[in-house]
């Protein structure tokens, strides 16, 4: 009974977002030719949540549309780019929100994943909104340096829930994505 009570209290502190990701803008680094881009394209195309991909070779970007109702996993996107021999230089996800409150250094669950908002003003998200991942594995090194000191929470360094997150009801070792707007 005590465990059920603790879980219930924890769920009250974790803010679920009623949104699903609809698309992403991915910038890959290291692409030098159309064959490189094709390799990344083919890898991304194999993801079960990807519906369609548009490519801009000049900017090394991929606009990815997601299948409705299928959960999106940013780590799988990154892994597919890396499996093709390249790295992610930027990843922004777009979702349609319905009155979701977000605050700086707050954890929010979106599409079944936990997101930690950093460097933002407190606001309510409605309609289509884009969030950008600001972790080392989703940014070029020079861009990551801009965000390196945006929060002192330990989860930013590890990408998994630490003491800073468990007080918000997030289970230890849960994957935490760090994002900004």
Please report, for the domain that includes residue 120, its CATH number.
3.30.70.100
Q: How many domains does the chain have?
A: 1
Calculate the average pLDDT of the chain: 87
Q: What is the mean pLDDT of residues 1-21?
A: 48
What is the pLDDT confidence band of residue 5, given thresholds at 50, 70 and 90?
Answer: very low
Provide the percentage of residues in the chain whose pLDDT is more than 90.
61
What is the C-alpha to C-alpha distance for residues 131 and 50, in angstroms, rounded to an integer? 18
pLDDT above 60 (res 151) = yes
What is the pLDDT confidence band of residue 12, given thresholds at 50, 70 and 90?
Answer: very low
Contact 141, 78 (CB under 8 A): no
Lowest pLDDT segment from 61-65, 103-107, 143-147: 143-147
Burial of 52 (0-12, 13-18, 19+ CB in 10 A): exposed
Quick one: pLDDT at residue 18?
Answer: 56
What is the pLDDT confidence band of residue 20, given thresholds at 50, 70 and 90?
Answer: confident
Which residue is listed with tokens 């977000």? Answer: 102
Report pTM.
0.86
């Amino acid at each position: 009974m005590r465990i059920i009570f603790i879980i219930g209290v924890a769920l009250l502190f974790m803010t679920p977002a009623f949104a699903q990701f609809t698309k992403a803008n991915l910038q890959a680094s290291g692409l030098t030719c159309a064959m490189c881009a094709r390799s990344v394209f083919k890898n991304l195309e194999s993801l079960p949540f990807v519906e369609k991909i548009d490519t801009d070779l000049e900017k090394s970007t991929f606009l990815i549309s997601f299948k409705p109702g299928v959960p999106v996993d940013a780590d799988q996107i990154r892994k597919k780019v890396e499996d093709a021999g390249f790295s992610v230089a930027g990843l922004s996800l777009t979702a349609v929100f319905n009155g979701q409150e977000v605050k700086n250094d707050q954890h929010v669950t979106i599409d079944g994943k936990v997101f930690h908002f950093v460097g933002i003003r407190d606001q309510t998200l409605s309609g289509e909104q884009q969030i950008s991942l600001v972790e080392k594995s989703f940014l070029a090194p020079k861009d990551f340096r801009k965000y390196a000191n945006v929060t002192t929470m330990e989860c930013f360094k590890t990408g998994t829930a630490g003491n800073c997150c468990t007080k918000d009801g997030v289970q230890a070792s849960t994957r935490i994505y760090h994002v900004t707007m």
